[in-house]
Structure 1
C-alpha cells in the first residue's frame, strides 16, 4: 500500500501540473474559466498519455521517461506557480471537512483495491505482456505478428507503463484503473447536486451511473485492463456535458471523446457530440476556437495512429480495408480480418470466427441466452425506453429543444453501433445505463409529487450497490499489502531458443501469459511463420515471405 500511495501521489502531482499548464493555454485562447479539480486531473491524464505514447516511439518507457517528466514537472511549477497556488487555495477553500474525509475514504478504498492481484482475464491474456513490451522496448515494429492482440494498441497501456515504476521499485505496479476510479468517484460525489440545484438533475443522474459502473468494476480495478477508462469516460463526458456552461467547454469534452477513441474504439459514437460546437463555431465565426480544437485533436490522435502503423502496419486495427502502407512488418490482411471477425462472433456469443456473418435471427437468441438476469432486464428496459422516448421526441420538436434530441440520437447511435458490431456486454455496458439515467434526469426536470421519491430511490440504489460491491470484494480479497502490492500471477511456460539465439517463452497450458516471464506468447506455432527484422527483439518482427499473403489466422495456423 505504501508504494501504491507514493505512486498515486506521483500520478496526481504530474497530471495536476500538466493539466494546469494545458488548461491555462486553453483559457487564454477560449476565454473560459476551468478550475474544477477533476477537469484538471483528467486533462493531465490525457496529455500524460500522449507524452507516454510519443516517448514510446523513440525509447522504452521506464525510468528515463519519468525523469524527463520530472523535468517538465519542475518547469511547470516555475512557470505557473501563481496559477497553481491560486487553484490549490480555491480547492482548499471550497472543500469542507466532510468532503475531505469522504475523499480520504475513497482514496483508501482505491489503495486497497490497487494492492490486490490483477484478476481480469484479458490482463493475463495480453495486457500485462503488452505493458512489459512498452516498458522494455517502447513501440516495437511488427509486434502484432508475434501476438495479434498486441496490435489492439490501447493508449491506456502506455499510460500504465509510464506510471508502473517497473525500473524504480523492481515490480510493475498496476493501480492506474483504481486511481482513475478514485478521481471519477470523487467527481461523482463532490459535484452531486440532486438535493440543492434542480436544474442539475440530468447531470446528477449520470453521476449516479458513474458510481454504478465503478461498483460493477471493483473486482477488476486492480488490473490494467482497457475497458474501465473507456467506459467510465463515456459517462463522465455526458455528465460534464450537462454541467458545461458554454459551448467552448463542451468542445473540450469532444476532444476528450477523441482521446477516448485511442483508449478503445467503443467511445467513437461520442465524437458525434462535436457537431454541436462545430455548428456554433461556424455560425459565429469562432475560427480561433475551431483551429485550437483541431490542433488538440491532432496532437492526441497522431501518436496513437503512428503506434498503430508501427505495431500492425495499419492505420486502424483491426480494419484491413484502410490499407495504405506496405512496410515489411505489416500483418497479413487475412489475419487482421480473421481477428475482426472473431471479435464480432465472440461478442455475439458464437465463439467461432467463421460464423461472424450469421443473420441476426440466428445469433440473437444465442447472445440473449448468454446474458445474466440483470443484463436481460437492462436490455428490456432500454427497448421499452426507446419506444417511450419516441413520444418525447415529438414534444421536443414542438418546443425546439434540438440539442436534447441530438444528444438522444448520439446515445442511440452508440447503443446500436455496439449492438450490431460486437455486443459483448463488457464492451458496451455503459450504453445500457445511459437511457435509464437520461430518463431519470428528464423526469426530475418537472415538479410533481413523486419527484422526491425518485430522487432518493435512485441515489440510495446506486450508493447501496457501490457499497455492496465493495463489501463483497473486501470479503474475499487477500489481506492488505502494507508495503508492496501483489504482483501479476505467473503462468507455467516453456522456453524456446528461437532464431539468432533469442529466447522466447510459450504458454504450457491455456492462453494466458501474465507479465513474467518475458517475452511470452500463447501460440508457439506463430514462431514458425515469423522472423526477426534484425538481430534482437528491439528491431521487431515480420512475417516470412512465403506467409505474407497466406491465410494465417490469429492462432498461427495456415488455412
Structure 2
C-alpha cells in the first residue's frame, strides 16, 4: 500500500503538470479533477508518439518528469488555486461524507494492493506493458499473440507509470482513476443536498457499484476508465443539452480519450455531434475539434499499423492499400468477429456456430453462464424500461439513441457483457437517482452500504465460482494480505515456470503446465507465448510467428506453412 501511495503521488504530479500544459493550450474547464483528466489524455497522446521509436523506460520517465515539472512551475498559480479550492470544498462536506471519503480511500488502496483477478491481465495486459517498457511499439507484435493487436491506449498509459525497470507490482493507474473519481462523486453527492438536482445525485452514486468496479483496480484494464468516464460524458451532455454551458471541449476530449482506450465506444461521438448541431458550434469549435481529432487519430492509427499492419485493427478497413511484411494474418482476425474461443475450437466449429439463426444466437447469449447471463438480461430490461423516463425528460432522448446504437454495434460485433457495462451503469444510476431524489435521508445510508460492502471480500476470501464469467478465473477472490501494507502483490495470479521453445527462427518462453487456456502468457520473460497456441495456429491455419531479424525490436511476421 505504501508503494502504491507513492506511485499515486507520482501519477498525480505527472497528470497535474501535463494537464496544466494541455489546459493552457485548449482553455477548457478548470478544476483539479478536470486538470488531472486532461493530464491523463495528454500522457496517452505523448506515449503514443514517443513509443513509436523509443521504449517507455527510465529515460522516458526522466523526460516525462521534467516536462510535467515545467507544466507545474509555469502554471503554479492556477494549480495552487485548484488545489486550495479542492481542499476548501472538502472542508464543507457533510461529516458523514468526509468519513466515507477517508474509508473509501483506504479500501481503494487495499484493493489495489491485491492480486489481479482479470483473465485478460494474464493473456496480454502484463506482456503488453513489458513490450512497451522494453522496446516501445513493435512491428507485427500481433503475429506473436493476436491479442497484442488490441493493445489499448490505457496500456500505454500504464507503461508510463509502472516503473517496469524496477518492479513488477505497480499496476496502479486504475486505482488512481478510481480514487479521483470517488472524490469527484463525493463532491457531487454533497452538492446534491444543496441543489436537489438529479444529475448531481447521478454522479454522486457512482461508488455504489464498487463491489463490481473494485475487481478492475489491480490490473490496467481499459474497461474501468470506460465505465467511469462514460458517466461523466453522459453528465456533461445532459448539462449542456438544453442550455449550452461551455463544456463541449471537455466532453469531446473525454470522448477521444475513451476511443483511444477502447475503440468499441466510438458511437459516443454522437453526443458531441448533437451538441455542435443543436447549439450551432461549428464556427467556434470545429477547428479545435479537427486539430485535436487529427492528433489523436494519428497516434491511434500509427499504433495499430505498427503492431498489426492494419490501420483500424481488428477490421480490414483500408487494409488493401497497405501491405507491410509484418501485417497480421487475416485468418487470425477472424477470431475477433466470432465469439472469442475459450477452448481449442477448430474453424469448422466456428462456422457451425455462425450458421445458427438470430433467435438461437440471442437465446444462447441470454443464457450464458455466470455474470454474463445476469448482465445480458439486465441490459435488455433497462433498454425496455428506460423510455418511461424519456417521456418525462426529453433531454434523455439522445442519450437513449446513443445507447441503442452502442448496444447494436456491440451485440453484432463483440457481445461481451463488460462492453455493455457503461450503459448498464448509466441507466441504473439514473433510475436509482430518481428513486432517491425525494428521499434525501436515505441517500447516505444507501450509498454507505453499497460502496463499503467491498470490505467483505477484502477481509474474507470470497467464493465466486457461481458468478465468475470464465472458468479460467479462480473460484475465490483472494482477501487482502497484511504483507501488502508496504509492497503490493505481484501483477500476476500465477507462478508459472517457463520452458524455452523454438519455432523456426523464433525462440520463445512458454508457461509450463498451463493446459486449460492457451491464450495465457503470465509474467514470463520476453518473448512469451503459449506453445499450445502456436501449435493451434500451425494445425488449423497453417501459419506460425517468425522474427523479422535476429533482434526482437525489429518485430515479427507470420509465415505461411505448406499444406
TM-score scaled by structure 2? 0.84
Residue of 411, 414, 423 corresponding to 1:419? 411
Residue of 268, 274, 286 corresponding to 2:272? 274
Does the CA-based 8 Å contact 1:165-1:172 persist in structure 2?
Answer: no
Matching of residues 245-264 of structure 1 within 5 Å: 246-264=244-262
Does the CA-based 8 Å contact 1:164-1:173 persist in structure 2?
Answer: yes
Matching of residues 179-218 of structure 1 within 5 Å: 179-192=176-189, 193-198=191-196, 200-208=197-205, 210-218=206-214
2:115 maps to 117
Matching of residues 116-515 of structure 1 within 5 Å: 116-167=114-165, 169-192=166-189, 193-198=191-196, 200-208=197-205, 210-243=206-239, 246-280=244-278, 283=280, 286-287=283-284, 289-323=285-319, 324-343=321-340, 353-354=350-351, 355-356=353-354, 358-372=356-370, 376=374, 383=380, 386-390=383-387, 393=390, 401=394, 403-441=395-433, 443=434, 451-453=437-439, 460-476=445-461, 477-480=479-482, 481-487=484-490, 488=492, 489-497=494-502, 503-508=507-512, 509-510=514-515, 511=518, 512-515=520-523
Q: CA deviation at 1:86?
A: 2.3
- Name the CA distance, whole Å, in 1 between partners of 2:404 and 2:249: 21
2:46 maps to 51
- Name the CA distance, whole Å, in 2 between partners of 1:363 and 1:231: 26
The answer as to 2:85 corresponding to 1:90 is yes
Tell me the matched-pair count.
Answer: 521
Structure-2 change in CA distance of 1:5 and 1:177 (3 Å): same
Q: CA deviation at 1:384?
A: 5.2
Q: CA deviation at 1:100?
A: 6.1
Does the CA-based 8 Å contact 1:126-1:149 persist in structure 2?
Answer: yes
Q: CA deviation at 1:297?
A: 2.1
- Name the CA distance, whole Å, in 1 between partners of 2:443 and 2:85: 31
- Name the CA distance, whole Å, in 2 between partners of 1:113 and 1:440: 26
What secondary structure is seen at the aligned counterpart in 2 of 1:486?
A: coil
- Name the CA distance, whole Å, in 1 between partners of 2:200 and 2:410: 23
Structure-2 change in CA distance of 1:252 and 1:531 (3 Å): same
Does the CA-based 8 Å contact 1:262-1:304 persist in structure 2?
Answer: yes
- Name the CA distance, whole Å, in 2 between partners of 1:312 and 1:359: 32
- Name the CA distance, whole Å, in 2 between partners of 1:269 and 1:344: 26
What secondary structure is seen at the aligned counterpart in 2 of 1:165?
A: coil
- Name the CA distance, whole Å, in 2 between partners of 1:456 and 1:343: 46
What secondary structure is seen at the aligned counterpart in 2 of 1:428?
A: helix
Q: Deviations over 1:230-287 (max 9, x none)?
A: 2222123213433457453134213211221121123222121022232156x35534
- Name the CA distance, whole Å, in 2 between partners of 1:166 and 1:392: 48
1:555 maps to none
2:59 maps to 64
What secondary structure is seen at the aligned counterpart in 2 of 1:194?
A: helix
Structure-2 change in CA distance of 1:471 and 1:57 (3 Å): same
Q: CA deviation at 1:315?
A: 1.0
- Name the CA distance, whole Å, in 2 between partners of 1:300 and 1:521: 31
Q: Deviations over 1:179-237 (max 9, x none)?
A: 11111111111122332212x313422442x2134331213421222221222221232
Does the CA-based 8 Å contact 1:203-1:240 persist in structure 2?
Answer: no
Structure-2 change in CA distance of 1:247 and 1:129 (3 Å): same
2:465 maps to none
Does the CA-based 8 Å contact 1:213-1:430 persist in structure 2?
Answer: no
- Name the CA distance, whole Å, in 2 between partners of 1:183 and 1:155: 19
1:2 maps to 2
TM-score scaled by structure 1? 0.85
RMSD (Å), alpha carbons: 3.0
The more displaced of 130-139 and 474-483 is 474-483
Q: Which runs of 5+ in 1 are unaligned?
A: 445-449, 551-557
What secondary structure is seen at the aligned counterpart in 1 of 2:363?
A: helix
Q: Deviations over 1:393-415 (max 9, x none)?
A: 5666xxxx4x4322221122223
Q: CA deviation at 1:367?
A: 2.0
Q: CA deviation at 1:4?
A: 1.3
